[in-house]
Structure formats: structure tokens, C-alpha cells
Amino acid sequence: MTDTTPDYAGLNLIAEAITEWFGERCPDYAEGCPSCEAWKEYDRLRTLLERNAALERERDEFRSKLSEAIDELMAAEAERIANEVLEALTAGKPEQSGWKLVPKEPSRGRLISMAVRHNHAFLINPDPSATWWSSGVKPEHRESILRNMKQLYEEAIGEGFYSPDKEAGYVTSFEKAQGSASPTPPTAGGGDA
């Protein structure tokens, strides 16, 4: 990032020199007055430097936005190409197909999308005037939900508890837990949502 403030120290030196040689600004501008002309040049220089600094700021902002956009495009493109390659490699081999390459590190947008998938009201703030319940998620709860989503993502891509060698173990444990559960009467309004 370049320094994008005008050189005010330098401008002050010039202002001091003009004051010394031509005196303070006249109350009104008069053409041909050496002091007025000198101050006019000073103002012109100051305006130029400030405009230049503003342009440099704009350029830096544009550059960082552009580089963000390129990063996003490249990430999407990398994922797309990788999956095309994967598809081509496994074409005609049904036992090897059905794979998808995904990034190890989920982006923030992906986690937010997961949270929205899980709770469609994730991005909606609860109605504060509701007397007892309102759908939506409080802002202070969102980051913790995103952390949960990150754990689920890790789980899904094999960076969590799960690994293929634990497949049978998990299923057996599940069946066992289901089988040993004492039957409970269904609760009103319950059931799988």
C-alpha cells in the first residue's frame, strides 16, 4: 500500500517560504500582485497533490477489490477444473466415480450457506417485539453457529472424527443404540422435521 496522504510537511515549507518572501495572503485576490500570484500557485499545487492522493487511494482500493475478485474467481475455477479432471479420470469406471474435490478450508461464504441450509432464518434477526418466540437468529449467536458448521464441514471432508475405516463401527454403534432404546410414546408435534 502506498502512502496516499499529500506531502503536507513539504507544502508547509513552501507556505512558510512564500510568507517570508511575499507576506501573508492578501484579503482579496488581485491579478498581478506578486503575493497573490505566489499564493495562487501554492493553492494550485496543494489541490494537485490532494487530487493525486485521492486518485492513489482510489487506485489502491480498486487494486485490492480486483485482487479479491480474482482470488474468488480462481478458487471457483480451481474447484471446477479439479472436478472436471476427476470426472474424466473416473469416466467409465462407476466404482470410482461419484467423487468431488472440495477445498480443505471452507470459505466464510460456504459456512454461511451451510448455516442457511440448516436454518433458513439464519440471516434474519429475531423480531424484538415478539412476546415469546420469534424465528431468526440473534447476531451474537451467529459466529458460534458458524463454528458448528466448520466442524460439520471438517466431518464431511474427512478432517473430523470420521475416516472410512470407522464406517462399520459407527453404523453398528448406531444400530445398537437404536435397538436398546426403550420405546417412548410419540410426543405431540414431534417426529423428524
Min dist CB 37 to Zn ion, Å, is: 8
Secondary structure class of 147 (helix, strand, coil) = helix
Greatest C-alpha distance within the chain? 103
Q: Which of 49, 47, 46, 19 is nearest to 34 (CA)?
A: 19
Stretch that binds Zn ion, among 16-24, 25-33, 81-89, 130-138 (CB under 5 A): 25-33
Min dist CB 38 to Zn ion, Å, is: 9
Among 35, 90, 113, 119, binds Zn ion (CB under 5 A): 35
**33 touches Zn ion (CB under 5 A):** yes
Among 11, 36, 116, 157, binds Zn ion (CB under 5 A): 36
Helix 108-118 crosses helix 139-156 at what angle (to 10 degrees)? Answer: 100
Nearer to Zn ion, 31 or 143 (CB): 31
- Residue showing cell 500570484: 37
Q: Which of 48, 45, 50 is nearest to 6 (CA)?
A: 50
**41 touches Zn ion (CB under 5 A):** no
- Residues in contact with Zn ion by CB under 5 A are 26, 30, 33, 35-36
